[in-house]
Amino acid sequence: MANKVAIVGIGQTYHKSNRPDVNMPEMVGEAVRAALEDADMNIKDIEATFHANMETFEGIYMPDHIMAAEMGGFGKPGLKVATGGTSGGSAVCEGFYMVASGLQDVVMVVGYEKQDCGDTTAAITAALVPSWSKGAATGAIGEFAKQALSYMETSGAKEEHAAMVRLKADKGACRNPYAHLKLGLTSIDQVLESGYLVWPLRFLDFCPQSCGACVLILASEEKAKKITKKPVWLADVEVVHQEPFRAGTFGDPTGTETYTQHVACENIYKRNGITNVRRDIDLAEIYEPSNWEEMNLYEHFHFCEKGEGWKLIEKGVTEMDGEFPVNPSGGVIATNPIGATPIIRVAEAALQIRGDAGEHQATRDVKTALASALGGPNWTTLALLKREM
């Protein structure tokens, strides 16, 4: 039986397109110090660091070698993980495994990306097998564009619904002191008037390239009770990987492919006795690189029936004051420092459970929350968080 694991410290940087005032380790250091301050801890109390970064996005190969000092990791065990968009989610799992196994009692999970260094879309294009990548590869954007088209064709969703997702995200982002894009949008027409990036995706349909870092401190039950009065329990995690889809990476018009989201959420729901998702879970922070993918993920994670994701946004179910809030932080389409992004999802879910989300605190009381990450050829990581365990 696994030991209980608590989130006892949360820290993140503000997020921005450019950070010339810091190099990458210095930016990470800001989030590390914020998390230590949140937990009222000293770096000496941290036993190990697990960090997430997609090094090709910066072109800094093996960033581990420059990170130890700013991460407070010198002389301690450390592992870096790079699994595309899920990197941060994988690092959360690593930290969870270590504490749950009892091998370590207090560990730090660190995610970071400094996207003013390079061109992420180009790096994703380059990540594919060279011989194939000349075949219709335009990074993640092209794949999410095709997903948007398939979603429109198969579910009956209109561009207006995608625009509603952006409007909801922007409302959250404008209330979140750490969010990157704060556009102050007031109508869906403003989204529908934004130019195309990769058809049918508009500029406001897709996430930005952000610089930023996010840190969680995880602790065993015994340590957690000494560190904080408000531990948030990391009840369970799940990772599912797979081969690239043959029929479409994120949107499969044939309905024949198995999605990692299905496998991952069905595993975690089963293990934790979740039979009615919107009754048993109070809030979700999901990794949605585009507003179209958010509606798709509602369906994948069984927040609603297949083909009905757009109805949730239309009815306001997933708004900050709705019955089942999703991404009150503004989500990934407002802020995307890739290695940090999944850790921000977990961090934001934990803040909601603690009641410390401030201006973007959901109206309903949040006792249980789900955080997801998406990456690579549509891999999934999930984390289930609880106030009481």
Partner 1 sequence: MAKEPEYIIVNIDTPRKYNWSTGKYLGHVYAEAKENKKLVGNKCPKCKAIMWGPTIVCPKCKVETGWEWEELPETGTVTQYTYLVFPLWDPHYGERWANPHPSGTILLENGVYQRHFLEETDPEKLKVGMRVQAVWKEDYDERGLGMQDVPYYRTIEE
Partner 2 sequence: MQTTSEKIEGMDVWLYHGQIYIPNTFSAGATGSRFLTTIRDKAKITGTRCKECNRVYVPARSVCKDCFAQLKEWVEVSDKGTVLSYTIDSEPKPIHPTDAPVIYGIIQLDGADTGFVHMIGGADPEQLRIGMRVQAVFKPKEERIGSVLDIKHFKPL
Chain residues binding partner 1 by CB under 8 A are 20-21, 59, 119, 121-123, 125-126, 129-139, 141-142, 145-146, 149-150, 153, 195-201, 203, 242-243, 246-248, 251, 253-254
Facing residues of 369 across strands?
A: 283, 385
Q: Which residues of 199-208 are buried (b: 16+ CB within 10 A; e: fewer)?
A: ebbbebbbbb
Residue placing its CB nearer to partner 1 in the complex, 85 or 172:
85
Smallest distance, Å, CB 201 to partner 2? 22
Choose among 140, 52, 55, 58: nearest CA to 90: 52
Smallest distance, Å, CB 80 to partner 2? 17
Residue placing its CB nearer to partner 1 in the complex, 200 or 307:
200
Ramachandran bin of 165, using left for φ above 0, alpha for ψ from -120 to 50, beta for the remaining angles: alpha
Helix (H) or strand (E) holding 362: none
Cα torsion 227, 229, 234, 235 to 10°: value is: 130
Angle at alpha carbon of residue 303, lines to 372 and 317, rounded to 5°: 105
72, interface contact from partner 2, partner 1, none, CB < 5-8 Å by kind: partner 2
229, interface contact from partner 2, partner 1, none, CB < 5-8 Å by kind: none
Smallest distance, Å, CB 20 to partner 1? 4
Residue placing its CB nearer to partner 2 in the complex, 134 or 226:
134
Smallest distance, Å, CB 361 to partner 2? 32
Choose among 378, 347, 341: nearest CA to 54: 341
- Amino acid occupying residue 307: G
Using omega within 30 degrees of 0 as the cis cutoff, is the peptide bond preceding 130 cis? no
Smallest distance, Å, CB 99 to partner 1? 32
Chain centroid, CA 70 distance in Å = 23
Cβ-based neighbour number of residue 134 at 10 Å: 9
Smallest distance, Å, CB 83 to partner 1? 17
43, interface contact from partner 1, partner 2, none, CB < 5-8 Å by kind: partner 2
Which chain residues interact with partner 2 by CB under 8 A? 19-23, 25-26, 29, 43, 58-60, 68-70, 72, 74-75, 116-119, 122-123, 126, 130-131, 134
User: Is residue 72 within 8 Å of 32, Cβ to Cβ?
Assistant: yes
Residue placing its CB nearer to partner 1 in the complex, 94 or 299:
299
26, interface contact from partner 2, partner 1, none, CB < 5-8 Å by kind: partner 2
Q: What distance in Å separates the CA atoms of residue 63 and residue 80, rounded to the nearest whole number?
A: 9
195, interface contact from partner 1, partner 2, none, CB < 5-8 Å by kind: partner 1
Smallest distance, Å, CB 163 to partner 1? 18
Give phi and psi for 142, each to the nearest 5: -60, -40
Q: What distance in Å separates the CA atoms of residue 89 and residue 311, rounded to the nearest whole number?
A: 28
Q: Which residues neighbour 94 within 8 Å (Cβ) at sequence distance 6 or greater?
A: 50, 79, 81, 109
Q: Any idea which residue has 């991952």 for tokens?
A: 264
339, interface contact from partner 2, partner 1, none, CB < 5-8 Å by kind: none
Instruction: Retrieve residue 224's tokens.
Output: 């957690």
Smallest distance, Å, CB 294 to partner 1? 19
186, interface contact from partner 1, partner 2, none, CB < 5-8 Å by kind: none
58, interface contact from partner 2, partner 1, none, CB < 5-8 Å by kind: partner 2
Residue placing its CB nearer to partner 2 in the complex, 43 or 192:
43
Q: What distance in Å separates the CA atoms of residue 239 and residue 252, rounded to the nearest whole number?
A: 21
74, interface contact from partner 2, partner 1, none, CB < 5-8 Å by kind: partner 2
Residue placing its CB nearer to partner 1 in the complex, 74 or 196:
196
Smallest distance, Å, CB 70 to partner 2? 5
